[in-house]
A and B are shown apart, each in its own frame.
Chain A
Amino acid sequence: MRIVVKPEVCMGCQICEIWCLVAHSMSKDILNAFLLEKPRAKPRIVVERNPSEYLILQCRNCEEPKCMFACISGAIYKDNGVLKYNEEKCVSCLSCVMACPYGAVKFEDGKIVRCDLCNLDPVCVKVCPNKALEVVS
């Protein structure tokens, strides 16, 4: 499976990003996640924005995942068709950042931040007010 954006209806509201953050917070509560939790959870979605355009990017869950091929520690692996990431094994060598052709792996505050597909039930897809995100197999 893969999450893809339909650019013709994506309006760049970034609500997917907001709820992605909440889904990856401790409290899972939007107010607490934003206002109280320190450090604030990191959204997994990549939002590209320039003055006139925007683009929402999720991990493509590639069939041939370069991030996984490049990973020197085995922290990125596939399980039943789904790319997974084991933070404990990761040494932050950034080989995955170097390899991911979509730039879907982020490196923030010394940590690799990457989409986990929310156990195959992606929050971003559910919350999109315009159905601009869809899961394709």
Chain B
Amino acid sequence: MKFENVIIGNSSAAIGCVEAIREIDSDADILMVSADRQAYSRALIPYYLRGKIELEGLLYRRQEFFERLNVETKFGIRVERIDTNKKEITLENGEIVGYEKLLIATGGKPFIPKIEGLNARDFFTFQTLEDVLRIKEAVEKAESAVILGAGIIGLMLAEALVEKGLEVKVVELADRVLAPVLDKKTSEIVQRKFAEKGVEILLNNTILEVRRNEKKILRLKDGREIETDLLAIAVGVVPNAELAKNAGIKVNRGIVVNKRMETSVKDVYAAGDCVEIFDSIAKTSRPIPLWITAYMGGRIAGFNMSGIPRDLSFVTAMNSMHFFDYYIITAGLSNSEDGEVISRLEGENYRRFVLRDGKIVGFIIAGKVGRAGIFTRLMEEELEVSGFKDKLLNDNFGYVDIPEAIRWNLLKEKVKFGVVRDAWI
């Protein structure tokens, strides 16, 4: 059995890849192999836990999608190994499938720090459908929870658990929540939001040891011991790159890819949370585990796999998050102090821009998030904004505030390649 395109994984990058291939070529055969039984959206996990959506709602693309796009699927099957010489993959059931082009989109996996006494049954992670089903069950019996890690996932889980009536504590090693993306002011607002809901956030702290009686007893760095029914670990995600590594593909922190999403081995592409990629703003290669980055990476890989050379031109970290209806959007070097920083805080509305050489390299917009995408665009275009930088801080900043000479050029859509005709649910 041999396919022109084989995709390992079925999440964002994989879907992006399939949709791109089909824009170019309606005939090429595609096989999608994934350990997951269904193509669901991991980013929706917290919403499911909160009951905002039903299980059905987790499905990013339904099975009909694959039929309609004529994609052969082998879901619920793990890939054992890749042989890049023979251009074959071996599945866990022993089946061998040949490929002409291969996309590795194996995603990421939760990072579990070393904690004394911790074993797998003691804690939950919060990434997969299995995880959330387990948590859902556990929540029914639990009264209290401790979450290690005050990142986006940790805090969203905290919000969900508070809503379920649990007494929640969050333990965070850094001196504030969301330290990698928020500055002090926004962190404080978020902390205040959680405090108002009774969530205790233990900063500059971590769990050193887990012990058990009826409940779990956690010994913290500051020496305190706290009891909890439920422990969740959400300190981050790391690339799931073993498969690639074993196949002899170059891996640093993640699978190394270039702008065309090509790995070190010919005809093997990689995209999504499993790769490390060049951050156009931070000017360094690193894993950027974001939904849109994964989708775009997969999409670019799809074009290149179909013989259409195309680069992923702009990548940087960007996040949209919300806690107790407080919305925050960040991008780039959002909390950097290195450069010209302009900001305005009014109540809980906050805008902060980091400028270098008159160009935006990062921003935080919180409260009235308005039309934050415009700033991402300005970053991507590397537009000199010093001429109107004061206006950036207005809640209703828009294209009208950009000088007319460049405004209309910006409003032209720059289609690099590919026209999306259809993308079904």
Q: Which A residues are within 8 Å of any B CB, using their own CB? A: 2, 7, 46, 48-50, 53-55, 57, 60, 62-70, 72-74, 77-81, 86, 89, 91-107, 110
Contacts and interface: CB of A to CB of B under 8 A. Distances in A.
A110 B325 contact: yes
A60 B374 CA distance: 14
Given A48-B398, A80-B421, A101 B376 contact: yes
Interface of B: 16, 41, 43-44, 47, 52-53, 57, 59-61, 291-292, 295-296, 299, 318-320, 322, 325, 327, 329, 331, 369-374, 376-377, 380, 391, 396, 398-401, 404, 407-408, 411, 413, 415-416, 418-425
A96 B320 CA distance: 9
Residue among B292, B421, B422 with the most chain A CB within 10 A?
Answer: B292
B16 A98 contact: no
Contact of B420 (A49, A54, A64, A93): A64
B44 A73 contact: yes
Nearest to A86: B425
Contacts of B373: 66-67, 96-103, 105
B400 A91 contact: no
Contacts, number: 154
10 contacts: A46-B398, A72-B60, A73-B53, A74-B61, A78-B423, A94-B327, A100-B373, A101-B374, A103-B398, A107-B369
Nearest to B374: A103
A97 B57 contact: no
Given A98-B320, A100-B371, 13 more contacts: A7-B408, A55-B407, A64-B413, A64-B420, A78-B423, A79-B424, A81-B419, A81-B421, A89-B57, A92-B322, A94-B329, A103-B398, A105-B371
Contacts of B320: 93-95, 97-98
Given A7-B408, A49-B400, A64-B418, A97 B423 contact: no
A77 B60 CA distance: 11
Contact of A60 (B325, B407, B413): B413
B277 to A, nearest CB: 16
A6 B239 CA distance: 47
Tell me what chain B mostly uses at the interface: helix, strand, loop, or mixed: mixed
A96 B318 CA distance: 12
A64 B415 contact: yes
Nearest to B57: A89
Residue among A69, A100, A105, A106 with the most chain B CB within 10 A?
Answer: A69
A101 to B, nearest CB: 4
Given A70-B291, A93-B322, A98 B329 contact: yes
A92 B416 CA distance: 29
Residue among A91, A100, A106 with the most chain B CB within 10 A?
Answer: A91
Contacts of B407: 55
A95 to B, nearest CB: 5
Contacts of B411: 57, 102
A10 to B, nearest CB: 11
Contact of B422 (A54, A63, A79, A91): A79
A67 B419 CA distance: 14
A98 B391 CA distance: 19
A91 B44 contact: yes
A99 B416 CA distance: 17
A103 B425 contact: no
Given A64-B416, A70-B292, A77-B423, A55 B400 contact: yes
Contacts of A104: 371
A66 B369 contact: no
Contact of B329 (A54, A73, A86, A97): A97
A73 B41 contact: yes
A66 B361 CA distance: 20
Contacts of A96: 373
